[in-house]
Amino acid sequence: MEVLMPEPQIYVERTLAIIKPDVIDKEEEIEDAILRSGFRILQKRKLQLSPEQCSNFYAEQFGKMFFPNLTAYMSSGPIVAMVLARNCAVSYWKEMLGPSNSLRARITHPHSLRALYGTDELRNGLHGSVSASSAEKEIRFIFPEAILEPLPTGQRARDYLNLYVKPTLLAGLTALCKEKPADPM
């Protein structure tokens, strides 16, 4: 009987997901939806940001009318931050989130996470990075200890596997076959 192994996948893109204070009680449901959508959760952290930290995190929004309410809302309780990984992680996560205005999301994207968990334009339940570069910056902010080396993609990823991973695996498997251990497990 032949065992079918899934094709190995290289998760080439990361994004930051935040479960905001007002929906933290839905953490398990949201995490389940994330995993069912093909994401891997690389890092996860529960924390509470100060208003100053929120101001720094949302610095691009500074000067907008909603900025004071946003920082007050985001610092009002604990959040759960996660580094998500998969192919095209940023765009898939944005698609899962739906529009930032939860009221609009209920009309145009009724199955999106913001339609399901958000309350209004400000209290939309979840955060997602808008681009790969902002994801990297936001991940560094929330997870300062994270090592974010650029991950190879496309041909560079295949070259890396062929040059470093496959020869090592081949050498290891060859050595294992030559030894023929009595109890390989």
Query: Catalytic residues, which ones?
Result: 127
Q: What single letter denotes the amino acid at residue 86?
A: R
- DSSP-based three-state secondary structure for 15: strand
Q: What backbone torsions phi and psi does residue 148 show, to the nearest 5 degrees?
A: -115, 75
- Spatial CA neighbour of 45 closest among 94, 83, 93, 85: 83
Q: Where are the alpha helices (DSSP H) in the chain?
A: 27-36, 51-57, 67-74, 89-97, 102-108, 113-117, 132-142, 154-160, 166-179
